[in-house]
Amino acid sequence: MPLSDPTARRELHSRDIALRGYHREDGLFDIEGHLTDRKSYSFTSDDRGVVEAGEPVHDMWMRMTVNEDMVIVACEAVTDQGPFRICPEAAPKFSDLVGLSIKAGFLRAASERIGGVKGCTHLRELLQQMGTVAFQTLYSVRVARAAKDPARRPPLINSCYAYASDGEQVKRRWPQFFTG
């Protein structure tokens, strides 16, 4: 169902985010993200001179490698384009995420390592989406693991509205964990 028709308007800014999840031959998983911001008008930047309409203001990449337990074993970021000359210097700091688990509290723990002046706002925004893609990428692996141990509570329970422990999905799929 599409949104309602908008009022007449002119686009000023666009952000494109592409995210992909891969299963590697060595058994690990790569989550890759690419963020691009563009303006529909030209403007002058102190560091870059004239930034033409449609030219990327931000052009950033990140690859996060995780194991089956959702622990980050490697993280690499690159800033091809940023508003300031100094922006690419923040990207290598994202390797400090190694060892973190993608689970409840992940973003808070990540911010302790790469938040504020330690990192880059835009790469952190990309990281949030990459955490979600990691869950989606490893979904079949985690379901298969949970099926081997029926006493283990599935991690999807209470992860969203549809998987509320007192909801229809949990009652149908995992009745032993239904709290209705």
| Domain extent at residue 161 | 155-180
pLDDT of residue 140: 84
Query: Model-level pTM?
Result: 0.85
Asked if the model's pLDDT at residue 142 lies above 90, the reply is no
Residue that the structure tokens 């379901």 belong to: 143
Residues 98 and 69 in one domain: yes
Residues 168 and 99 in one domain: no
Length of the chain: 180
Residues 72 and 161 in one domain: no
In a domain, 5, yes or no: no
First vs last C-alpha separation in the chain: 31
pLDDT of residue 144: 79
Asked if the model's pLDDT at residue 138 lies above 90, the reply is yes
In a domain, 7, yes or no: no
Residues 36 and 108 in one domain: yes
Residues 118 and 37 in one domain: yes
More reliable by pLDDT, 77 or 148: 77
Question: How many structural domains are present in the chain?
Answer: 2
Residues 161 and 80 in one domain: no
- Tens-digit pLDDT profile for residues 41-58: 999 999 999 999 999 999
Confidence of residue 118 (pLDDT cuts 50, 70, 90): very high
Residues 54 and 126 in one domain: yes
- Tens-digit pLDDT profile for residues 61-86: 999 999 999 999 999 999 999 999 99
Residue 38 phi, psi dihedral angles, 5° rounding: -140, 150
The CA distances from residue 50 to 31, 39, 123, 141, 165, in Å, are 34, 12, 24, 48, 54
